[in-house]
Amino acid sequence: MAGLRAALLPLVLQLTSLALVSVTGGVILRDSPELVDIHHYQQQEPAHASAPAGAPQEQGRPLEERLGRLEAQMMELREQNKELRVRVRQLESCECRPASAQCWGLGRAWPEGARWEPDTCTACVCRDGAVHCEPKAGLAHCRGESLPSPIWGEGSVSALQAGTVRCQGPSCSELNCLESYTPPGECCPVCRPGCEYEGQSYEEGANFLSSSNPCLQCSCLSSLVRCVPMKCPPSPCPEPVLRPGRCCPTCRGCTEGGSHWEHGQEWTAPGDPCRICQCLEGHIQCRQRECASLCPYPARPLPGTCCPLCDGCFLNGREYRSGESVGSGDPCSHCHCANGSVQCEPLPCPPVPCRHPGRIPGQCCPVCDGCEYQGHQYQSEETFSLRESGHCLRCSCQAGEVSCEEQQCPLAPCTLPDSGPPLCPACVLEGEEFAEGVQWEPDGQPCMACSCHDGVPTCGAVLCSPAPCQHPTQPPGTCCPICESCTYHGQVYANGQNFTDADSPCHACSCEDGTVRCSLVDCPPTTCARPQSEPGQCCPRCPDCILEEQVFVDGENFSHPRDPCQECQCQEGHARCQRRACPRALCAHPLPGPCCQNVCNGCAFGGKEYPNGADFPHPSDPCRQCSCLSGSVQCLARRCPPLPCPEPVLLPEECCPQCPAAASGCPRPGGGVPARHLEHFPLPDDPCRRCLCLDGSVSCQRLPCPPAPCAHPRQGPCCPSCDGCLYQGTEFASGARFPSPSVACHVCLCWEGSVSCEPQACAPAQCPFPARGDCCPACDGCEYLGEPYLSSQEFPDPREPCGLCTCLGGFVTCRRRPCEPLGCSHPLTPAGHCCPTCQGCLYHGVTAAPGETLPDPLDPGCSLCTCQEGSMHCQKKPCPPAPCPHPSPGPCFCPVCHSCLSQGQEHQDGEEFEGPPGSCEWCRCQGGQVSCVRRPCPPLSCPLQVTEPGSCCPRCRGCLADGEEHPEGSSWVRPQSRCSSCTCHEGVVTCARVQCVSSCARPHQGLSDCCPRCSDCEHEGHKYEPGESFQPGADPCEVCICEPEGPPSIQCHRRQCPSLVGCPISQLLPPGPQHCCPTCAQALSNCTEGLLGSELAPPDPCYTCQCQDLTWLCIHRACPELSCPPSERHTLPGSCCPVCRAPAQSCAHQGRAVASGERWAEDVCTTCSCVAGTVRCQSQRCPPLSCGQDEAPALSPGSCCPRCLPRPASCMAFGDPHYRTFDGRLLHFQGSCSYVLAKDCRGGDFRCAAPSASSLTPYTCPR
């Protein structure tokens, strides 16, 4: 048996050392029942030493069984030890901080030194965070179960049964929360963060208002809801109103600067008409007024207003009234302001007496000193050539008139004079050759377009269509303006570009497709009370701040220039600085920086600073070694070597325990079992002291009290305890609520040794105007508009001087102050008084002084009222007598007359009639009175007017001729000559012989006919009705009439133009299109009495005019008959009648004489003739060609008109010698050799060459 013990003892020691290693690793293992039994066996062995030895096999069998179990658990402990080593390595990288020592037992935490009894036989104590239990001495039923002080870990609960320690899990307290969970490494569940209050769920840390009482501000902390009454800020208005669902009263209106506005009322900010302010629940909110731009150049706003108006214009920094002239920079246009817009019109030009007046640079109106013809300007007496419809014309400009005559067209430039018909109609202009049909733009002339037609270049001005935008841009080198950018006030802006109008900085403009659109700038709201506006700046802005000679804009956040630890903000021109808020450091023990302690390249620990990576001893625990790593301190306990003794001793000022030497025990005070060496035991008469047996000597000291983990612990038997509170000298149980002994209206709560006080929560008052109580509002009085009143007290209404209010149980009722009854019917309430008096009258909103008479407000036209001692007395106005025998009731029921007597005749009321004869008046009967006005005459457009005797208004006078008057515009036949026709025009009679025109091949003329007739009223297939007139040809002066009498026939003649008597030559206007006669730009001369019998020469030399009967009579001079044919007649300048020319002359053409009238062919397209010594040529007109996309018009040899040839699929060689390439280019080479026209340069498949060099037969090489 002794050998078995000897073999078992080393194994037990090994297990003990392994358990110690496990404890040093930070994990306390529960003692297994086998280990407890071994301890029990070792301690019981001396007691059985004196027993007789018997049955050794029986005694050794249980030990063998236990040894087997121990070996199995040894294997399990080795595996656990591997895991523990891994956990120790992880824990060594963490920072360890000492925690308050406490022990778990019976389902709760016990502070250091606490004692309790788990059962009637056991007493336990918490020492150094471990539970030490021992059996009670002196109890008979507990004998045989004495147990040395085992060490139990946290959370273990033990019971002694039949000498065996049995362990079970701790009992967990009941939770009262929404949701619970068990954290990792814990036994008992805890409440999940969050709160439930009044049926609503809130997150941890949430702040909210109570739904039943809006004056309670609640918060959710540690799954508990705490509510405190809300403190209302002082009201900025004198009369706050308590609104439903709100705790604090709000302002009914807004008050600022002595002005008051009601809720929702808007007004314009004083001094800034562009800001609109609104009162919203006692707060003033302002915004910028928005103005709609309805015109492009609105006038600036009137003083005191914000938005610009369209009743004028603001342009180029100047104001213009509507209708006022505006400078445009164009001397030929007149611009004026029209309701915010600028309208321009060309200056009116006087009429000119020529048909093609020219324009002089620098002048606006055309003059007859030059000519403008087909878009080109020509000087007077300048000769130029034109080509129209294939005809060549030579024209000349003479005093605004252009006269042209046909001439021979020049030969094609590619045709030699003796080579026959042209083969290639190409054009040469300024030394450069252009192919037929090509259009081009001359160099440096973007507004000219030229084309080549029939070998003749034709150039004309490019007509620009009006741009579809308002502000187009004309790029350099182009002719027509385009809308790809905007030209606005002399500046060019790209499409999509936004800019500010330099003349009006409050307009923001943008260029969109060539049109500039501007709108008012929407100024942002300013954050200061007095914003400033600078010249040339639209929106007001807050002033800047100057600090340390540096400028900062309003609202800018910046660092102080001299102190980087201060953060500043510019507000209304002042820099407000405060200490900069330090950000949270990223490490646990940072070093102090320039402003904040957040530098993590070292450590500040225990009042000292250490560099990064330094190792240093713990400042308060010499058994711990610390190291600084990037601002974090890690402290680890020094490792101690394992000891072979079961109960090592830790000597004072030592870090590692040592095995004690064999020592003796100590007697206990009061007797009993002696204490063993190093055993702690209490004194029976002083439980607050603890003794230690050290090698036979006893040393006792008072138990050290650990720091209480609460703010207000109560005094326990030995140490302060957190199971109650000691607050200002009074003890309170945990969970007790009590009034604060130092702060009024505060309630305190004792909870686990700490006292927290908060303002007393008041229930909402059940009245609208509660009085202020000691702590909470009460309804035993009233507080109305800031003033307290007692219940049942009457007081004047602070808002209404004539009101009287009563306080009753927190309710305030106001009514108007009662007034004494008066003896008048319309009393007046004077200003500043509450009750009316009879010293005046108030009648239907009209105030009257005593004795004052005024029109009745209900019948102001017919009644008068007088104020007498506060009552109004009204009566009808007296009616004047009627001047007629039978009056009828009128207004105000007064008699009125409804008829008038004029010139012995009676007229009813409202009747209109003529006035006295010769008075030219129109009269009306109204209310018995006759009123007459002169009859208006209609305006007349004729210059000659005459008023007939007995007539009121003038009429247009016609013409007097041969004693008869003829109306304006009429025609008639003179009695002296039936073939002479006269017309009346503006008081001038023009007579001339009828000029006949023949419109048919075989006309016939009767004896009484002035002009020959054509049978039937039909002309060119159109049939005309009798009396219908028409124009037979292109000459607007010729007219034909289907005779209305006799058989159907047509008679034609030339229109007779009236004489323009007294019209200067400069005022003569040529006839326009489809007009026959010229007109005068001014009124004609009148034949007055002073001019009777005088003669006047009109502009037409064929007429002579004489003043007769206040009418100019102009008669056409008769011309003698001529014997020469009409083709040889001509009229000399300034004469009336034509004369015969000299005999016909021959023509000289290319060195030979050609008889007059001879015709010949110049080429295949041109035919010439000799007419009166002049060669006239006419070219053949070719029909238009419609060629395909791959074709081009070209001339074939021997033909006049071009035909369609493939393009560019062929080249051609012709002439002397000429070549047209595949791309249509024309080349000329003179030389005697063979020319390669085309060949395959890569494969050599074909080669095309011209066989000869001069006088080539037209040769075509297909591609």
Beta-sheet pairing, 1111-1116 with 988-993:
parallel
Lowest mean pLDDT among 472-481, 1162-1171, 1202-1211: 1202-1211
CA distance 378 to 359: 9
Phi, psi of 1011 (to 5 degrees): -130, 150
- Res 411: pLDDT: 56
Residue 725 has pLDDT above 90, yes or no: yes
Residue 716 has pLDDT above 50, yes or no: yes
- Res 628: pLDDT: 93
Mean predicted confidence (pLDDT) in 79-107: 67
**How far is CA 1236 from each of CA 953, 1213, 1219, 1229, rounded to the nearest angstrom?**
96, 11, 11, 12
The two three-digit tokens of residue 646, written as one number: 């079961």
Mean pLDDT computed over every residue of the chain: 76
Candidates 1040, 1035, 1036; CA nearest to 1075 is 1036
Q: Which long-range contacts (CB under 8 A, 24 or more apart) does 67-74 make?
A: 67/8, 67/11, 69/34, 70/11, 70/12, 70/15, 70/34, 70/38, 71/11, 73/15, 73/32, 73/34, 74/11, 74/14, 74/15
Mean predicted confidence (pLDDT) in 203-212: 82
658 pairs with which residues across the strands?
649
Residue 23 has pLDDT above 70, yes or no: no
Beta-sheet pairing, 1018-1019 with 1022-1023:
antiparallel
Residue 39 has pLDDT above 50, yes or no: no
Cα of first residue to Cα of last residue in the chain, in angstroms, is 131
- Res 315: pLDDT: 75
Residue 209 has pLDDT above 80, yes or no: yes
Give residue-wise pLDDT tens across range 46-89: 333 334 444 445 656 777 777 877 887 887 787 778 778 777 76
Give the torsion through C-alpha atoms of 485, 487, 493, 498, to 10 deg.
Answer: -110
Mean predicted confidence (pLDDT) in 752-756: 88
Q: Would you place residue 106 in the very low, low, confident or very high pLDDT band (cuts 50, 70, 90)?
A: low
Q: Would you place residue 841 in the very low, low, confident or very high pLDDT band (cuts 50, 70, 90)?
A: very high
User: Is residue 198 helix, strand or coil?
Assistant: coil
Higher pLDDT, 1102 or 487: 487
Lowest mean pLDDT among 155-159, 545-549, 959-963: 155-159
- Res 511: pLDDT: 93
- Let me know if 828 is exposed, middle or buried by CB neighbors in 10 A (0-12, 13-18, 19+): buried
Residue 736 has pLDDT above 80, yes or no: yes
Residue 491 has pLDDT above 90, yes or no: no
Give residue-wise pLDDT tens across range 1069-1121: 888 877 888 888 777 777 877 777 788 777 778 888 888 877 888 888 777 77
Beta-sheet pairing, 151-152 with 157-161:
unpaired
The two three-digit tokens of residue 946, written as one number: 């005459």
- Res 1230: pLDDT: 67
Q: Which helix (H) or strand (E) holds 44?
A: helix 33-44
The two three-digit tokens of residue 1240, written as one number: 């395959």
Q: For residue 674, how far is the Cα from the chain centroid?
A: 97
Candidates 1148, 1123, 1122, 1151; CA nearest to 1137 is 1122
Q: Which helix (H) or strand (E) holds 873?
A: strand 871-876
- Res 639: pLDDT: 76
Residue 704 has pLDDT above 50, yes or no: yes
Give residue-wise pLDDT tens across range 272-320: 777 788 887 677 788 877 776 667 778 877 777 778 888 888 777 678 8
Q: Would you place residue 748 in the very low, low, confident or very high pLDDT band (cuts 50, 70, 90)?
A: very high
- Res 932: pLDDT: 87
Give yes or no for a contact between 544 and 553, defined as CB atoms under 8 angstroms apart: yes
- Let me know if 124 is exposed, middle or buried by CB neighbors in 10 A (0-12, 13-18, 19+): buried
Give residue-wise pLDDT tens across range 375-400: 788 888 888 887 776 677 888 998 88
Give residue-wise pLDDT tens across range 892-920: 878 777 777 777 777 777 788 888 877 78
- Res 634: pLDDT: 87
Residue 519 has pLDDT above 60, yes or no: yes
Q: Would you place residue 456 in the very low, low, confident or very high pLDDT band (cuts 50, 70, 90)?
A: confident
Q: Which long-range contacts (CB under 8 A, 24 or more apart) does 218-223 make?
A: 220/194, 220/195, 222/193, 223/177, 223/178, 223/191, 223/192, 223/193, 223/194, 223/195
- Res 778: pLDDT: 86
Give residue-wise pLDDT tens across range 1154-1182: 877 677 777 778 888 887 678 888 777 77
- Res 566: pLDDT: 85
Phi, psi of 332 (to 5 degrees): -100, 10
Residue 416 has pLDDT above 50, yes or no: no
- Res 1210: pLDDT: 66
pTM: 0.26
The two three-digit tokens of residue 1037, written as one number: 């002066």
Give residue-wise pLDDT tens across range 210-251: 888 888 888 887 777 888 887 777 766 666 777 777 788 777
Count the residues in the chain.
1263
Residue 164 has pLDDT above 60, yes or no: no
CA distance 2 to 5: 5
Mean predicted confidence (pLDDT) in 916-928: 79
